[in-house]
Amino acid sequence: MAERAPPLIVGAGPAGIRAAMTLVAAGLRPIVIDEGYACGGQIYRQPLSPDGRDAQARYGSEAAKATRLQRDFAALGAQVDYRPNTLLWNLRDASADSLRDGVSQRILHDGLILATGATDRVLPLPGWTLPGVFTLGGAQIALKAQGCAIGKRVVFAGSGPLLYLVAWQYMKAGVEVAAVLDAAPLSAKLHLLRALPLAPDIVLRGLRMAAELALHGTQVQLGVSGLRIEGEGRVARIVYQTGGRRHAIACDGIGYGLNLRSETQAADLAGCAFRFDPRDRAHLPVRDSSGRSSVAGVYLAGDGARIAGADAAELAGERAALALLEDRGLPHAPARAASLERRLVRIGRLRDALEAAFPFPAHWGADIADDTLLCRCEDISAGDARRAIGHFSLTDVNRLKAVTRIGMGRCQGRMCGAAAAELLAAQTGRDIGAVGRLRAQAPIKPIPLAMSLSVDERQHDPAH
Protein backbone atom coordinates (compact mmCIF):
# COMPACT_ATOMS: atom_id res chain seq x y z
CA MET A 1 0.00 0.00 0.00
CA ALA A 2 1.35 3.42 -0.94
CA GLU A 3 2.27 5.70 1.95
CA ARG A 4 -0.27 8.47 2.50
CA ALA A 5 0.81 12.01 1.83
CA PRO A 6 1.23 14.22 4.90
CA PRO A 7 -1.32 16.80 6.03
CA LEU A 8 -0.64 20.37 4.92
CA ILE A 9 -1.14 23.38 7.17
CA VAL A 10 -1.17 26.83 5.59
CA GLY A 11 -0.10 29.46 8.10
CA ALA A 12 1.98 29.38 11.28
CA GLY A 13 0.06 31.80 13.47
CA PRO A 14 -1.78 30.64 16.60
CA ALA A 15 -4.17 28.38 14.64
CA GLY A 16 -1.50 26.78 12.49
CA ILE A 17 0.87 26.22 15.41
CA ARG A 18 -1.76 24.52 17.55
CA ALA A 19 -2.92 22.39 14.62
CA ALA A 20 0.65 21.25 13.98
CA MET A 21 1.20 20.35 17.61
CA THR A 22 -2.00 18.29 17.66
CA LEU A 23 -1.08 16.35 14.53
CA VAL A 24 2.46 15.70 15.73
CA ALA A 25 1.12 14.40 19.05
CA ALA A 26 -0.92 11.87 17.03
CA GLY A 27 2.18 10.62 15.20
CA LEU A 28 1.82 12.57 11.94
CA ARG A 29 4.46 14.83 10.40
CA PRO A 30 2.60 17.73 8.80
CA ILE A 31 3.99 20.19 6.32
CA VAL A 32 3.56 23.79 7.47
CA ILE A 33 4.04 26.55 4.93
CA ASP A 34 4.33 30.07 6.27
CA GLU A 35 4.73 33.40 4.50
CA GLY A 36 6.55 34.67 7.56
CA TYR A 37 10.22 34.15 8.25
CA ALA A 38 9.39 32.67 11.68
CA CYS A 39 6.29 31.30 13.36
CA GLY A 40 3.86 33.48 15.28
CA GLY A 41 1.68 35.07 12.62
CA GLN A 42 0.84 38.74 12.69
CA ILE A 43 -0.10 38.96 16.36
CA TYR A 44 3.00 37.18 17.64
CA ARG A 45 5.34 38.29 14.86
CA GLN A 46 9.03 37.81 15.63
CA PRO A 47 11.73 40.36 14.81
CA LEU A 48 13.86 40.02 11.70
CA SER A 49 16.95 40.07 13.91
CA PRO A 50 17.64 40.54 17.64
CA ASP A 51 17.01 44.17 18.55
CA GLY A 52 17.50 44.19 22.30
CA ARG A 53 13.79 44.02 23.17
CA ASP A 54 12.39 41.19 25.25
CA ALA A 55 9.00 39.56 24.79
CA GLN A 56 7.36 41.88 27.31
CA ALA A 57 8.51 44.95 25.41
CA ARG A 58 7.39 43.48 22.07
CA TYR A 59 4.06 41.86 22.95
CA GLY A 60 3.00 43.58 26.17
CA SER A 61 0.21 41.72 27.96
CA GLU A 62 0.37 38.93 25.32
CA ALA A 63 4.06 38.18 26.01
CA ALA A 64 3.43 34.93 27.90
CA LYS A 65 1.14 33.57 25.16
CA ALA A 66 3.54 34.58 22.40
CA THR A 67 6.54 33.03 24.14
CA ARG A 68 4.65 29.82 24.88
CA LEU A 69 3.45 29.33 21.32
CA GLN A 70 6.81 30.13 19.76
CA ARG A 71 8.61 27.84 22.20
CA ASP A 72 6.14 24.98 21.72
CA PHE A 73 6.40 25.16 17.94
CA ALA A 74 10.21 25.28 18.05
CA ALA A 75 10.17 22.20 20.29
CA LEU A 76 8.52 20.19 17.51
CA GLY A 77 11.81 20.33 15.61
CA ALA A 78 12.05 17.78 12.81
CA GLN A 79 8.66 16.32 13.74
CA VAL A 80 7.15 18.99 11.50
CA ASP A 81 8.24 19.96 7.98
CA TYR A 82 8.26 23.72 8.50
CA ARG A 83 8.77 25.89 5.43
CA PRO A 84 9.02 29.60 6.28
CA ASN A 85 9.18 32.39 3.68
CA THR A 86 6.89 30.24 1.54
CA LEU A 87 3.87 31.54 -0.33
CA LEU A 88 0.84 29.43 -1.19
CA TRP A 89 -0.27 30.70 -4.59
CA ASN A 90 -2.54 27.94 -5.91
CA LEU A 91 -4.54 24.92 -4.83
CA ARG A 92 -5.74 21.98 -6.91
CA ASP A 93 -6.93 18.46 -6.18
CA ALA A 94 -4.84 17.08 -3.29
CA SER A 95 -1.93 19.39 -4.09
CA ALA A 96 -0.77 22.93 -3.44
CA ASP A 97 1.57 25.19 -5.37
CA SER A 98 4.03 27.01 -3.14
CA LEU A 99 6.74 29.55 -3.89
CA ARG A 100 10.02 30.10 -2.10
CA ASP A 101 13.07 32.01 -3.35
CA GLY A 102 11.62 32.20 -6.85
CA VAL A 103 11.10 28.43 -7.08
CA SER A 104 7.61 26.93 -7.25
CA GLN A 105 7.03 23.49 -5.80
CA ARG A 106 3.93 21.36 -5.90
CA ILE A 107 3.11 19.83 -2.52
CA LEU A 108 1.00 16.68 -2.38
CA HIS A 109 -1.09 16.46 0.75
CA ASP A 110 -3.72 14.31 2.42
CA GLY A 111 -5.75 16.74 4.47
CA LEU A 112 -5.53 20.53 4.27
CA ILE A 113 -5.86 22.91 7.23
CA LEU A 114 -6.21 26.54 6.14
CA ALA A 115 -5.07 28.90 8.90
CA THR A 116 -4.57 31.90 6.64
CA GLY A 117 -5.35 34.68 9.11
CA ALA A 118 -6.62 38.15 8.34
CA THR A 119 -5.55 41.52 7.01
CA ASP A 120 -6.67 45.09 7.60
CA ARG A 121 -9.91 46.26 6.07
CA VAL A 122 -9.92 49.84 4.83
CA LEU A 123 -12.17 52.22 2.96
CA PRO A 124 -10.44 54.76 0.72
CA LEU A 125 -10.34 58.33 1.94
CA PRO A 126 -8.73 61.49 0.54
CA GLY A 127 -4.95 61.32 0.98
CA TRP A 128 -4.79 57.66 1.99
CA THR A 129 -2.04 56.98 -0.56
CA LEU A 130 0.31 59.65 0.81
CA PRO A 131 3.66 58.42 2.17
CA GLY A 132 3.38 58.04 5.91
CA VAL A 133 -0.05 56.37 5.85
CA PHE A 134 0.00 52.76 7.02
CA THR A 135 -2.68 50.23 7.84
CA LEU A 136 -2.90 49.41 11.52
CA GLY A 137 -1.36 46.01 10.80
CA GLY A 138 1.46 47.61 8.82
CA ALA A 139 2.19 50.00 11.68
CA GLN A 140 2.27 47.05 14.07
CA ILE A 141 4.63 45.07 11.83
CA ALA A 142 7.04 48.00 11.71
CA LEU A 143 7.12 48.13 15.49
CA LYS A 144 7.20 44.39 16.24
CA ALA A 145 9.40 43.07 13.46
CA GLN A 146 11.70 46.00 12.78
CA GLY A 147 11.69 47.96 16.00
CA CYS A 148 10.81 51.23 14.27
CA ALA A 149 7.86 53.62 14.25
CA ILE A 150 5.92 55.01 11.30
CA GLY A 151 6.51 58.57 12.48
CA LYS A 152 7.50 60.78 15.38
CA ARG A 153 4.02 62.20 15.97
CA VAL A 154 1.42 59.61 15.01
CA VAL A 155 -2.37 59.47 14.75
CA PHE A 156 -4.34 56.22 14.71
CA ALA A 157 -7.77 56.27 13.07
CA GLY A 158 -10.58 53.86 12.20
CA SER A 159 -12.40 51.30 14.30
CA GLY A 160 -11.85 48.01 16.08
CA PRO A 161 -9.96 46.76 19.14
CA LEU A 162 -6.72 46.77 17.12
CA LEU A 163 -6.97 50.56 16.90
CA TYR A 164 -6.39 50.99 20.62
CA LEU A 165 -3.93 48.13 20.92
CA VAL A 166 -1.54 49.49 18.28
CA ALA A 167 -1.84 53.03 19.64
CA TRP A 168 -1.02 51.77 23.13
CA GLN A 169 1.94 49.75 21.84
CA TYR A 170 3.32 52.85 20.14
CA MET A 171 2.86 54.91 23.29
CA LYS A 172 4.70 52.25 25.31
CA ALA A 173 7.52 52.35 22.74
CA GLY A 174 8.00 56.05 23.44
CA VAL A 175 6.31 57.43 20.33
CA GLU A 176 4.13 60.54 20.62
CA VAL A 177 0.59 59.37 19.88
CA ALA A 178 -1.26 62.58 19.11
CA ALA A 179 -4.74 61.09 18.79
CA VAL A 180 -6.91 58.01 18.49
CA LEU A 181 -9.83 58.78 16.17
CA ASP A 182 -12.54 56.15 16.59
CA ALA A 183 -15.39 55.98 14.07
CA ALA A 184 -17.65 54.30 16.62
CA PRO A 185 -19.99 56.53 18.63
CA LEU A 186 -20.04 56.52 22.41
CA SER A 187 -23.36 54.65 22.39
CA ALA A 188 -21.69 51.67 20.72
CA LYS A 189 -19.28 51.30 23.64
CA LEU A 190 -22.20 50.27 25.87
CA HIS A 191 -21.88 46.85 24.24
CA LEU A 192 -18.70 46.41 26.27
CA LEU A 193 -21.00 45.84 29.24
CA ARG A 194 -22.29 42.76 27.41
CA ALA A 195 -18.70 41.61 26.84
CA LEU A 196 -17.56 42.22 30.42
CA PRO A 197 -18.95 39.04 32.05
CA LEU A 198 -17.71 36.93 29.14
CA ALA A 199 -14.08 38.08 29.38
CA PRO A 200 -13.52 40.64 32.12
CA ASP A 201 -9.73 40.54 31.73
CA ILE A 202 -9.89 41.43 28.02
CA VAL A 203 -12.45 44.22 28.44
CA LEU A 204 -10.69 45.76 31.43
CA ARG A 205 -7.34 45.55 29.66
CA GLY A 206 -8.78 47.46 26.71
CA LEU A 207 -10.30 50.10 28.97
CA ARG A 208 -6.99 50.44 30.76
CA MET A 209 -5.19 50.98 27.45
CA ALA A 210 -7.62 53.75 26.49
CA ALA A 211 -7.20 55.35 29.92
CA GLU A 212 -3.40 55.18 29.77
CA LEU A 213 -3.44 56.79 26.33
CA ALA A 214 -5.57 59.66 27.63
CA LEU A 215 -3.37 60.09 30.71
CA HIS A 216 -0.33 60.39 28.43
CA GLY A 217 -1.95 63.27 26.57
CA THR A 218 -3.40 61.35 23.64
CA GLN A 219 -6.65 62.80 22.36
CA VAL A 220 -9.21 59.97 22.23
CA GLN A 221 -12.13 61.03 20.05
CA LEU A 222 -15.25 58.95 19.36
CA GLY A 223 -17.76 59.21 16.53
CA VAL A 224 -15.41 60.74 13.97
CA SER A 225 -16.31 61.02 10.29
CA GLY A 226 -15.18 62.92 7.21
CA LEU A 227 -11.57 61.80 7.53
CA ARG A 228 -9.14 63.50 5.16
CA ILE A 229 -5.35 63.19 5.10
CA GLU A 230 -3.39 66.20 3.87
CA GLY A 231 0.22 67.01 3.06
CA GLU A 232 2.60 67.88 0.25
CA GLY A 233 4.51 64.75 -0.71
CA ARG A 234 4.00 63.29 2.78
CA VAL A 235 1.48 63.25 5.59
CA ALA A 236 1.29 66.58 7.41
CA ARG A 237 -2.12 66.48 9.10
CA ILE A 238 -5.36 64.58 9.42
CA VAL A 239 -8.72 66.35 9.24
CA TYR A 240 -11.91 64.95 10.71
CA GLN A 241 -15.40 65.94 11.84
CA THR A 242 -17.36 65.42 15.05
CA GLY A 243 -20.75 66.90 15.76
CA GLY A 244 -20.63 68.91 12.54
CA ARG A 245 -17.37 70.62 13.49
CA ARG A 246 -14.11 70.26 11.57
CA HIS A 247 -10.82 69.56 13.34
CA ALA A 248 -7.21 69.10 12.21
CA ILE A 249 -4.26 67.41 13.93
CA ALA A 250 -0.66 67.79 12.77
CA CYS A 251 1.20 64.48 12.39
CA ASP A 252 3.85 62.76 10.26
CA GLY A 253 2.46 59.21 10.46
CA ILE A 254 -1.01 57.67 10.39
CA GLY A 255 -2.18 54.16 11.16
CA TYR A 256 -5.60 53.43 9.68
CA GLY A 257 -7.94 50.45 9.62
CA LEU A 258 -11.57 49.39 10.04
CA ASN A 259 -11.44 46.07 11.88
CA LEU A 260 -10.08 43.04 10.02
CA ARG A 261 -10.88 41.08 6.87
CA SER A 262 -10.51 37.30 6.63
CA GLU A 263 -8.06 35.97 4.04
CA THR A 264 -10.36 33.60 2.15
CA GLN A 265 -8.70 33.25 -1.25
CA ALA A 266 -7.19 29.84 -0.49
CA ALA A 267 -10.55 28.50 0.69
CA ASP A 268 -12.08 29.75 -2.55
CA LEU A 269 -9.47 27.93 -4.67
CA ALA A 270 -10.06 24.80 -2.57
CA GLY A 271 -13.67 24.86 -3.73
CA CYS A 272 -15.26 25.70 -0.37
CA ALA A 273 -18.82 26.97 -0.29
CA PHE A 274 -19.28 30.54 0.95
CA ARG A 275 -22.02 32.28 2.91
CA PHE A 276 -22.50 35.95 3.72
CA ASP A 277 -21.79 36.85 7.35
CA PRO A 278 -23.63 40.03 8.41
CA ARG A 279 -21.41 40.61 11.43
CA ASP A 280 -18.17 40.63 9.46
CA ARG A 281 -19.86 42.16 6.37
CA ALA A 282 -18.16 39.54 4.20
CA HIS A 283 -18.74 36.27 2.39
CA LEU A 284 -16.93 33.63 4.43
CA PRO A 285 -16.22 29.94 3.80
CA VAL A 286 -18.79 27.63 5.34
CA ARG A 287 -17.56 25.41 8.17
CA ASP A 288 -19.12 23.39 10.94
CA SER A 289 -18.27 23.53 14.64
CA SER A 290 -15.33 21.16 14.10
CA GLY A 291 -13.72 23.28 11.39
CA ARG A 292 -14.72 21.01 8.52
CA SER A 293 -15.47 22.91 5.33
CA SER A 294 -17.90 21.91 2.60
CA VAL A 295 -15.04 20.07 0.86
CA ALA A 296 -13.95 16.73 2.27
CA GLY A 297 -10.43 16.88 3.66
CA VAL A 298 -10.33 20.69 3.87
CA TYR A 299 -10.48 22.29 7.32
CA LEU A 300 -10.71 25.94 8.35
CA ALA A 301 -9.31 27.54 11.48
CA GLY A 302 -8.61 30.98 12.86
CA ASP A 303 -9.34 34.44 11.53
CA GLY A 304 -9.13 33.19 7.94
CA ALA A 305 -12.54 31.60 8.50
CA ARG A 306 -14.11 34.29 10.70
CA ILE A 307 -12.62 37.05 12.82
CA ALA A 308 -12.43 35.84 16.40
CA GLY A 309 -8.94 36.69 17.72
CA ALA A 310 -5.82 34.81 18.72
CA ASP A 311 -7.28 32.82 21.61
CA ALA A 312 -10.05 31.45 19.41
CA ALA A 313 -7.53 30.73 16.67
CA GLU A 314 -5.54 28.46 18.97
CA LEU A 315 -8.64 26.52 19.96
CA ALA A 316 -9.92 26.30 16.38
CA GLY A 317 -6.55 25.11 15.11
CA GLU A 318 -6.52 22.25 17.59
CA ARG A 319 -10.18 21.44 16.86
CA ALA A 320 -9.59 21.31 13.10
CA ALA A 321 -6.62 19.01 13.62
CA LEU A 322 -8.75 16.68 15.75
CA ALA A 323 -11.33 16.59 12.96
CA LEU A 324 -8.61 15.63 10.49
CA LEU A 325 -7.46 12.85 12.80
CA GLU A 326 -11.01 11.56 13.17
CA ASP A 327 -11.48 11.54 9.40
CA ARG A 328 -8.26 9.52 9.07
CA GLY A 329 -9.49 7.01 11.61
CA LEU A 330 -6.86 8.00 14.19
CA PRO A 331 -7.36 8.67 17.93
CA HIS A 332 -8.91 12.11 18.23
CA ALA A 333 -10.08 12.77 21.83
CA PRO A 334 -13.84 13.42 21.47
CA ALA A 335 -14.12 14.88 24.99
CA ARG A 336 -11.38 17.38 24.22
CA ALA A 337 -13.07 18.26 20.94
CA ALA A 338 -16.36 18.96 22.71
CA SER A 339 -14.59 21.15 25.27
CA LEU A 340 -12.91 23.16 22.52
CA GLU A 341 -16.24 23.72 20.79
CA ARG A 342 -17.86 25.01 23.99
CA ARG A 343 -15.01 27.45 24.55
CA LEU A 344 -15.24 28.64 20.94
CA VAL A 345 -18.96 29.30 21.33
CA ARG A 346 -18.24 31.48 24.37
CA ILE A 347 -15.54 33.42 22.53
CA GLY A 348 -17.96 33.82 19.64
CA ARG A 349 -20.43 35.56 21.95
CA LEU A 350 -17.63 37.79 23.19
CA ARG A 351 -16.62 38.66 19.65
CA ASP A 352 -20.20 39.55 18.75
CA ALA A 353 -20.22 42.05 21.60
CA LEU A 354 -16.85 43.51 20.64
CA GLU A 355 -17.88 43.91 17.02
CA ALA A 356 -20.97 45.77 18.21
CA ALA A 357 -18.77 48.02 20.36
CA PHE A 358 -16.47 48.75 17.40
CA PRO A 359 -18.87 48.73 14.44
CA PHE A 360 -17.83 49.12 10.84
CA PRO A 361 -18.87 52.61 9.62
CA ALA A 362 -21.09 51.36 6.81
CA HIS A 363 -22.23 54.87 5.88
CA TRP A 364 -18.69 55.79 4.84
CA GLY A 365 -19.12 53.85 1.58
CA ALA A 366 -21.57 56.43 0.29
CA ASP A 367 -19.31 59.29 1.38
CA ILE A 368 -16.18 58.38 -0.62
CA ALA A 369 -15.36 61.42 -2.76
CA ASP A 370 -15.31 60.85 -6.53
CA ASP A 371 -11.67 61.92 -6.86
CA THR A 372 -10.51 59.45 -4.19
CA LEU A 373 -8.43 56.56 -5.50
CA LEU A 374 -10.35 53.34 -4.98
CA CYS A 375 -8.14 50.72 -6.66
CA ARG A 376 -4.46 51.59 -6.32
CA CYS A 377 -3.19 48.81 -8.59
CA GLU A 378 -5.31 49.84 -11.59
CA ASP A 379 -5.53 53.59 -10.77
CA ILE A 380 -9.34 53.67 -10.61
CA SER A 381 -11.13 56.38 -8.67
CA ALA A 382 -14.42 56.16 -6.82
CA GLY A 383 -15.89 58.41 -9.50
CA ASP A 384 -14.76 56.02 -12.24
CA ALA A 385 -16.53 53.19 -10.42
CA ARG A 386 -19.71 55.18 -9.88
CA ARG A 387 -19.89 56.17 -13.55
CA ALA A 388 -19.45 52.55 -14.62
CA ILE A 389 -22.14 51.42 -12.17
CA GLY A 390 -24.60 53.93 -13.58
CA HIS A 391 -23.74 53.48 -17.26
CA PHE A 392 -23.88 49.66 -17.21
CA SER A 393 -26.53 49.29 -14.47
CA LEU A 394 -24.15 47.13 -12.45
CA THR A 395 -25.33 45.31 -9.33
CA ASP A 396 -22.66 42.60 -8.92
CA VAL A 397 -19.09 43.27 -7.84
CA ASN A 398 -17.67 40.80 -10.37
CA ARG A 399 -19.38 42.70 -13.19
CA LEU A 400 -17.90 45.89 -11.76
CA LYS A 401 -14.50 44.19 -11.88
CA ALA A 402 -15.00 43.14 -15.51
CA VAL A 403 -16.00 46.63 -16.61
CA THR A 404 -13.48 48.70 -14.63
CA ARG A 405 -10.56 46.30 -13.84
CA ILE A 406 -11.05 46.90 -10.10
CA GLY A 407 -9.46 43.88 -8.40
CA MET A 408 -7.38 42.82 -11.42
CA GLY A 409 -4.10 44.25 -10.14
CA ARG A 410 -1.34 42.88 -7.96
CA CYS A 411 -3.49 42.59 -4.86
CA GLN A 412 -6.23 40.65 -6.73
CA GLY A 413 -8.83 42.68 -4.88
CA ARG A 414 -7.54 41.82 -1.43
CA MET A 415 -7.26 45.52 -0.56
CA CYS A 416 -9.88 47.16 -2.78
CA GLY A 417 -12.49 44.41 -3.05
CA ALA A 418 -14.30 45.14 0.21
CA ALA A 419 -14.30 48.88 -0.52
CA ALA A 420 -15.62 48.32 -4.06
CA ALA A 421 -18.46 46.20 -2.68
CA GLU A 422 -19.34 48.86 -0.10
CA LEU A 423 -19.39 51.57 -2.77
CA LEU A 424 -21.48 49.42 -5.12
CA ALA A 425 -23.99 48.64 -2.37
CA ALA A 426 -24.28 52.30 -1.41
CA GLN A 427 -24.61 53.44 -5.03
CA THR A 428 -27.33 50.92 -5.89
CA GLY A 429 -29.18 50.97 -2.58
CA ARG A 430 -28.61 47.23 -2.13
CA ASP A 431 -27.57 45.31 0.94
CA ILE A 432 -23.82 44.63 1.08
CA GLY A 433 -24.46 40.90 1.06
CA ALA A 434 -26.41 41.14 -2.21
CA VAL A 435 -23.60 42.55 -4.38
CA GLY A 436 -21.57 39.33 -4.27
CA ARG A 437 -17.88 38.74 -3.70
CA LEU A 438 -14.82 38.81 -5.90
CA ARG A 439 -13.98 35.26 -6.92
CA ALA A 440 -10.39 34.24 -6.19
CA GLN A 441 -8.06 33.21 -8.98
CA ALA A 442 -4.55 31.82 -8.98
CA PRO A 443 -2.10 33.25 -8.23
CA ILE A 444 -3.81 34.58 -5.14
CA LYS A 445 -0.78 36.81 -4.47
CA PRO A 446 1.89 38.19 -6.83
CA ILE A 447 4.48 35.74 -8.13
CA PRO A 448 7.55 36.52 -10.28
CA LEU A 449 7.40 35.96 -14.04
CA ALA A 450 10.82 34.34 -13.79
CA MET A 451 9.53 31.70 -11.39
CA SER A 452 11.01 28.26 -11.97
CA LEU A 453 9.75 24.78 -11.13
CA SER A 454 11.52 22.64 -8.57
CA VAL A 455 13.36 19.48 -9.63
CA ASP A 456 11.04 17.35 -7.50
CA GLU A 457 7.96 18.72 -9.23
CA ARG A 458 9.41 18.01 -12.69
CA GLN A 459 10.16 14.47 -11.67
CA HIS A 460 6.74 13.70 -10.20
CA ASP A 461 4.34 15.72 -12.31
CA PRO A 462 3.36 13.70 -15.41
CA ALA A 463 2.69 16.96 -17.27
CA HIS A 464 6.42 17.73 -17.39
User: What percent of the chain has a predicted confidence (pLDDT) above 90?
Assistant: 83
* pLDDT, average across residues 277-290: 96
pLDDT, one tens digit per residue, over 166-187 is 999 999 999 999 999 999 999 9
Q: In the prediction, which pLDDT does 394 show?
A: 97
SS3 59: helix
Residues ≥6 apart with Cβ < 8 Å to 337: 290, 319, 322, 323, 326
What are the DSSP E strand ranges found in 231-368? Answer: 237-242, 245-250, 253-258, 260-262, 274-277, 282-285, 298-300
Q: In the predicted model, is pLDDT for residue 457 greater than 60?
A: no
- CATH 1.10.10.1100 region(s) of the chain? 362-464
pLDDT, one tens digit per residue, over 366-376 is 999 999 999 99
Strand partners, 112: 8, 298
pLDDT, one tens digit per residue, over 383-396 is 999 999 999 999 99
Q: In the prediction, which pLDDT does 454 show?
A: 59
Q: Which of 329, 262, 273, 266 is nearest to 9 (CA)?
A: 266
- CATH 3.50.50.60 region(s) of the chain? 8-119+261-354, 122-258
pLDDT, one tens digit per residue, over 413-443 is 988 999 999 999 999 999 999 999 999 999 9
DSSP string, 382-394: HHHHHHHHHHHT-
CATH class of 362-464: mainly alpha
Where b means 16+ CB within 10 Å and e means fewer, 171-193 reads: bbbebbbbbbbbbbeeebbebbe
Residues ≥6 apart with Cβ < 8 Å to 132: 150, 151, 231, 234, 235, 252, 253, 254
Q: In the prediction, which pLDDT does 1 show?
A: 52
Q: In the predicted model, is pLDDT for residue 137 greater than 60?
A: yes
Pair 158, 261: CB distance under 8 Å: no
Q: What is the CA radius of gyration of the chain?
A: 22
pLDDT grade, residue 462 (50/70/90)? very low
Query: For 122-258, CATH number?
Result: 3.50.50.60
- What's the CA gap between 417 and 402, in Å, rounded? 13
Q: Which of 409, 396, 393, 385 is nearest to 435 (CA)?
A: 396
* pLDDT, average across residues 198-217: 95
pLDDT grade, residue 449 (50/70/90)? confident
Q: Does domain 8-119+261-354 have CATH number 3.50.50.60?
A: yes
